[in-house]
Amino acid sequence: MQALIVIDVQNDFCPGGALAVPQGDAIVQGINTMMADFDAVILTQDWHPAGHSSFASAHQGSAPYDMIEMPYGPQALWPDHCIQGSMGAKFHMELQQDRADLIIRKGYNPAIDSYSAFFENDHKTPTGLEGYLRTRGISKLTMVGLALDFCVNYSAVDAAKLEFDVTVQKGLCRAIDLNGSLGAAVSGMQAAGVNIVS
């Protein structure tokens, strides 16, 4: 059984959004077309409460993209984005949400960020996605979405560590590329055994 995991194709990550990924909206139609080829389609949704600890605005004197130390390790600070119930947190209007078997919301704990579809950024607290996939007998995952060097990267590496067979469709992802993060992410995914196809 194979699942398509669509990572964070939300308004705030698309052009015009609070944390826009260049050409983030250019992948939507290609993702919609791919959905029919899989036994299951799972969408992830960044879902932050207002004032989340990963927002630069929550730390006096900090600016977006600064790095700080959190109890669970280094954390990039972001512009306020994907706030629960906001227009920015909604999926891109052209994404075929009706095809989704499951929507996983992440980043809703105010004290910890969550890039991966599988774990919060402490790398310990699970989202429940692994259990869902196991109970459905799904072992092969294809990942697409935003952003390649953050949430797609973390999700793919975690899935590989959990011994899923993981492919990232690079052409249906877009990256932020913050201080060389894209090159580091691609190297890290390959080292973890993720198959990257363009």
Report the phi/psi class of residue 82: left, alpha or beta, with left for phi > 0 and alpha for psi in -120 to 50: left
H helix runs in the chain, sequence order: 28-34, 129-135, 153-161, 181-191
Bridge partner residues of 5 (DSSP): 42, 143
Does 151 qualify as catalytic in the annotation? yes
Does 8 qualify as catalytic in the annotation? yes
Selecting among 14, 82, 151, 173, the annotated active-site residue is 151
193: tokens are 């055994």
Selecting among 14, 80, 106, 173, the annotated active-site residue is 106
Maximum C-alpha span of the chain: 49
Does 140 qualify as catalytic in the annotation? no
Instruction: Please give the sequence-ordered ranges of beta strands (E in DSSP) within 31-156, or none if there are none.
Output: 40-46, 67-70, 73-76, 102-106, 140-146
Distance, in Å, from the CA atom of 45 to the CA atom of 84, rounded to the nearest integer, reads: 10
Across the beta sheet with 102-106, the strand order is 102-106, 40-46, 2-7, 140-146, 165-174, 195-197
Q: Which residues are catalytic?
A: 8, 106, 151
